[in-house]
Amino acid sequence: MIIDTTEVQTINSFSTSGFFKEVYGLIWIIPILTLILEITIGVLVLVWLEREISAAIQQRIGPEYAGPLGILQAIADGTKLLLKEDLLPSRGDIRLFSVGPSIAVISVLLSYLVIPFGYRLVLADLGIGVFLWIAISSIAPIGLLMSGYGSNNKYSFSGGLRAAAQSISYEIPLTLCVLSISLRLEIGRNDQVVLPYDSDLDSSTVDIVEAQSKYGFWGWNLWRQPIGFLVFLISSLAECERLPFDLPEAEEELVAGYQTEYSGIKYALFYLASYLNLLVSSLFVTVLYLGGWNFSIPYIPIPELFRINQMAGIFGMTIDIFITLAKAYLFLFISITTRWTLPRMRIDQLLNLGWKFLLPISLGNLLLTTSSQLVSL
């Protein structure tokens, strides 16, 4: 029996390439699992912070028995919900009832793909990064509407309708604020006008952060777009359905809205989705308006002062992640304190604020941004 050496080499090359493809596929799982772990820890810390801050505002004692300083209370609540019975409405649409919570969670989780936690610490650096987040987040109200319709409950269905109306009302001003930042970035880079429908319009989250790092602290879009920042802040709170914008699950009117018929793990998914959405909104506020992972004082660059640029590897990445999360949790503190400061709005006041005030203001901000950039050319 004669064996051709070329055939043996070909077989070995195919087997080696297949082995490397499998290893490459396994390596890609590591960043995804790391991101999921970070998100889980972030949500647990957020729940604990909200309970502690809420207790301090109301002058009462917060969670203190589950672990040191009550930090394990969120894990205890999650375990309790996982062990509870999963009840199904007898006359409801079981398929819509079961799929709704999953859509709400998955649509929020996908938004984390385009969030940069540091330089080159992003899973997908896309040119449409911010607009991809807006497109994905618009899917979540569909899941809420499916949950309300599948529950066969008037309170639940009203909550689902309110969630859809509220999302549409506040997504438009939010999108116009993001468009203002993208136009400013692109016109400043190319010294030419880029129309909103132009394929060259760049909305990469990494590029937005890098554009803010040129002038240190004063280069943040917070100072360049103060009107857009306020509109984005209000719209993001409304998108997260936080007080005073929690009309879809208002207890006094709708018992719990679209969550009325849910229990067990499905209710836990809604609970998780609300905190995931709040965390992702705070991260996008950090990326768009607070300079992301960059933090420097004019004429005193912090990275050069502490030689962060020379600290390659894990330590430099840790510093970037710490700065990003510190800015994000500052916004979370504002949203938590707002919950216990302002009363809930009526549904007509909510829609009037979105359509009659925030939409014209965001349009005026977009026009003002474009005009100022054209004058400076």
pLDDT (0 to 100) of residue 296: 63
Structure-token match 């990326």, residue found:
287
pLDDT (0 to 100) of residue 187: 58
| Segment 356-376, tens digit of pLDDT | 999 999 999 999 988 887 777
How far apart CA 46 and CA 278 sit, in angstroms, is 9
Which residues touch 339 (CB under 8 Å, ≥6 apart)?
Answer: 54, 242, 243
What count of residues does the chain have?
377
Yes or no: say if 278 and 46 are a contact pair by the CB < 8 Å rule.
yes
pLDDT (0 to 100) of residue 284: 93
How far apart CA 109 and CA 126 sit, in angstroms, is 16
| Segment 266-303, tens digit of pLDDT | 888 888 888 899 999 999 999 999 988 887 655 555 55
How far apart CA 28 and CA 176 sit, in angstroms, is 34
pLDDT (0 to 100) of residue 286: 93
Structure tokens of 89?
């409405």
User: Does this model's pTM top 0.85?
Assistant: no
pLDDT (0 to 100) of residue 245: 85
pLDDT mean for each 10 residues of the chain (377 residues): 47 49 61 78 87 89 82 86 85 87 89 85 82 87 88 86 87 91 69 45 79 81 91 91 79 73 88 89 92 69 53 72 89 89 85 92 92 77
